[in-house]
Structure 1
Amino acid sequence: MCSGNFAKCLGISLMPLAIVCVLCNILLFFPGGKPVEKEHITEQVWYFGGILGSGVLMIFPALVFLGLKNNDCCGCCGNESCGRRFAMLSSILFAGVGVAGAGYSVIVSAVAINKGPKCVVLINNTVKFWDSPFLNGDYLSNNDMWAKCVEPSDVVSWHLSLFSVLLVMGLIQMALCAVQVVNGLLGCLCGDCCRGSDGAV
């Protein structure tokens, strides 16, 4: 497969992943699917890992990858091959941006999963207050601890599910951008290996 075509496939794959990450981050502003005061939202949600890291920052490399196949830059002194090689080289820089953005989202998600959500807890079965009752991921291996969160209902599974999706999507995005780094290097060094029937690169 041509390096340009392969980059386009990567760009197509990145777009829906970015959309999913943005939606997950937005949903995390509604713990358990319910609106709450902003001070009751988990701190890591405000870091916008899904919106900025795996969302906005991922749009740029995705668009660049999509446009590589149709890049008609005349390049160096009218040498189209040189122009395409330069385009592939520049895609490596955007792939680096994608890796950084997705990496940021992965780190934020991992920290959020480890700390757990903010929720309403009970003291002596009477006093209610908002707190982060879990420490160092202790709730991950003990579902009975989830009962510490009284409200919002299902907030623990909501928090864990959405941040887990962000974590997995971020890792996939990092892998795809890393693949484009290799593809970009090959395209830069070897040029676009495929030629159409008309002999155009």
Structure 2
Amino acid sequence: MCVSGCLRCVGLMLVPLAVVCMLANVLLLLPGLQVHFLLEGHVTREATWATGLWGSGLLVRADCVCACVCVCVGGQLVYSCVCVLAAGFCSLVSGTGLVNGPLCLHNTSSGPAWGVPFKTTGDGGQVYLFERSLWSSVCLQPAGVVQWNVTLFSVLGGASALQTLLCTANILNTLLILLINTCGCHGNIYQRN
């Protein structure tokens, strides 16, 4: 089988992952499907960076198109490297958002205030992930925000990590084309002799 066929397969697998990442990031921006939290600035910082939209979403989706049409091998290689960095960054940001916990209205010594209560626990917020009883008792608003963030950041982090692996495979396939010239390519990865 031609190595370029692998590029097409990788490209086609990246499409649904890019859609999942974009959808997860949009939902993170709308806790409880309510837009007023976004408009008031009460959305978790890592969600507002929108790495699922521009990094694991649009950039990686464009790489899918790049892998499925005739393009210069060098251009494919450079673009795949950019996508590895973008998807890897999205995965890192998602992990950070997951560990820190959501921005929510919670009780403080001076009354209810907006903040990231799980991040300030001294252990990096990691305890809250394993203590589900804290989820509904700490965050007052948005309702169910902890489950919302844990689920969506987990999906976003997992999908972008898989994208990172697939884009890395895309780089290796492209390098293989350059090194052994399996398809008889001369500047175009799908050109046949």
Same fold (TM over 0.5): yes
Shift of 1:33: 2.6
Which one of the candidate residues 141, 145, 151 is aligned to 2:141? 151
Deviations 1:13-50 (A, max 9, x none): 11111111111111111113323143211111111110
Question: Aligned partner of 2:142: which letter?
Answer: P
Q: Does 1:113 align with 2:113?
A: no
Question: Aligned partner of 1:115: which letter?
Answer: N
Residue in structure 2 matched with residue 34 of structure 1 by the alignment: 34
Q: Structure 2 matches for 1:45-60, cutoff 5 A?
A: 45-60=47-62
SS of the equivalent of 1:128 reads: strand
Q: Does 1:184 align with 2:174?
A: yes
Residue in structure 1 matched with residue 188 of structure 2 by the alignment: none
Structure 1 residue ranges, 4+ long, deviating more than 4 angstroms after superposition: none
Structure 2: runs of 5 or more not aligned = 185-191
Shift of 1:182: 1.1
SS of the equivalent of 1:28 reads: helix
Question: Aligned partner of 1:129: which letter?
Answer: A
Residue in structure 2 matched with residue 5 of structure 1 by the alignment: 5
Question: Aligned partner of 1:141: which letter?
Answer: F
Residue in structure 1 matched with residue 158 of structure 2 by the alignment: 168
Normalising by structure 1, report the TM-score: 0.81
Residue in structure 1 matched with residue 69 of structure 2 by the alignment: 67
Shift of 1:193: 4.4
Question: Sequence identity, in percent?
Answer: 31
Q: Does 1:99 align with 2:89?
A: no
Shift of 1:138: 2.3
Shift of 1:172: 0.5
Give, in whole Å, the separation in 2 of the partners of 1:116 and 1:29.
14
SS of the equivalent of 1:10 reads: helix
Give, in whole Å, the separation in 2 of the partners of 1:149 and 1:111.
19
Shift of 1:167: 0.4
SS of the equivalent of 2:107 reads: strand
> Aligned pair count?
178
Question: Aligned partner of 1:174: which letter?
Answer: T
Shift of 1:91: 1.7
Q: Does 1:138 align with 2:122?
A: no
Larger Rg: 1
Question: Aligned partner of 1:138: which letter?
Answer: V
Normalising by structure 2, report the TM-score: 0.84
More off after superposition, 142-151 vs 18-27: 142-151
Question: Aligned partner of 1:140: which letter?
Answer: L
Structure 1: runs of 5 or more not aligned = 72-86, 195-199
Q: Structure 2 matches for 1:75-90, cutoff 5 A?
A: 87-90=72-75
Query: Contact 1:117–1:155 (CA<8 Å) still a contact in 2?
Result: yes
Deviations 1:108-137 (A, max 9, x none): 11111111001121347x943222110212
Deviations 1:139-172 (A, max 9, x none): 1121122120122221101001111111001110
